[in-house]
Amino acid sequence: MKKIVIATKNKGKVREMIDAFAGLPVELISLAEFGDLPDAVEDGQTFAENARIKARFYAKQTGCACLADDSGLEVDALGGAPGVYSARFAGENADDDANNKKLCRELEALGCLESEGRYRCVLAFVDEAGQELLSDGVCEGLVRTKAAGSEGFGYDPYFFVPELGCTMAQLQLEEKKQISHRGAALRAMSTRLAGYLK
């Protein structure tokens, strides 16, 4: 069994990754099991750069192969913003509410009630020898200034999925996994890891 550290302490994310790689000969462990490690400095300009920075940093910190992700929202009308700043769009310690208010303000300032956009997730795997694998997943949709739904988190109430006729926040967790950017990136990484482990 290949031991892989997941570069997150988020229990939901850990669970999702364990489920996604259930068929592979891997043992996934959370960063939480390594005690109080410093935070990686995510100063990349793209999701791929940030995912790589995190995976390399924690592979070095733990001495194990590491899997890291970076993800966020890209809004076409805003030139791809918030992008890598999705979690801190309204400032360093901003919460979901503040980020969503800023998103709506910026769209309204442009006279937009909605814009095409996407959630994007990039996963980076780095092994002890420094070999790297990357996968990426997107979920296309419309970013609206009117919220709907109470499930999910982040920008989900404002992210409308046209083919389903609802927002991400109106989907149950299992439905969301089927179409989500992270789900797509995990499925692609699972295929890449299967080849790597052979």
Give the pLDDT of residue 48. 97
Q: What is the mean pLDDT of residues 119-147?
A: 97
Q: What is the mean pLDDT of residues 141-157?
A: 94
The answer to whether the beta carbons of residues 153 and 119 sit under 8 Å apart is no
Q: What is the mean pLDDT of residues 63-81?
A: 97
Backbone CA torsion sign across 193, 129, 16, 28: positive
pLDDT digits (tens, 9 = 90+) for 100-120: 999 999 999 999 999 999 999
Point out the residues that are catalytic. Answer: 70
**Chain-centre distance for alpha carbon 87:** 10
Residue 12 has pLDDT above 90, yes or no: no
Which run of H or of E encompasses 21? none
Residue 70 has pLDDT above 90, yes or no: yes
Give the pLDDT of residue 195. 95
Give the pLDDT of residue 174. 83
The answer to whether the beta carbons of residues 135 and 87 sit under 8 Å apart is no
Establish how many alpha carbons lie within 13 A of residue 7's alpha carbon, considering only the half-sphere containing its beta carbon.
31
According to the per-residue pLDDT averaged within each range, which of 11-20, 36-45, 132-141 is highest? 132-141
pLDDT digits (tens, 9 = 90+) for 80-92: 999 999 999 999 9
pLDDT digits (tens, 9 = 90+) for 159-184: 999 999 999 999 988 888 889 999 99
Q: What is the mean pLDDT of residues 48-72?
A: 97
DSSP state of 33: G
Q: What is the CATH number of domain 2-197?
A: 3.90.950.10
Give the pLDDT of residue 54. 97
Q: Cα–Cα distance between 22 and 111 in angstroms, integer? A: 46
Q: Cα–Cα distance between 74 and 160 in angstroms, integer? A: 13
> In 50-103, where do the E strands start and end?
65-75
Q: Hey, what long-range contacts does 98-104 have (CB within 8 A, 24 or more apart)?
A: 99/154, 99/155, 100/147, 100/155, 100/157, 100/158, 103/73, 103/75, 103/143, 103/155, 103/158, 104/145, 104/158
Q: How many CB atoms lie within 10 A of CB 4?
A: 22
Name the strands in the sheet holding 132-144, side by side, starting at the edge strand that comes first in the sequence. Answer: 26-30, 2-6, 65-75, 114-126, 132-144, 159-161, 166-167
Give the pLDDT of residue 181. 94
Give the pLDDT of residue 168. 95
Residue 61 has pLDDT above 90, yes or no: yes
Give the pLDDT of residue 178. 87
Give the pLDDT of residue 7. 95
Residue 77 has pLDDT above 90, yes or no: yes
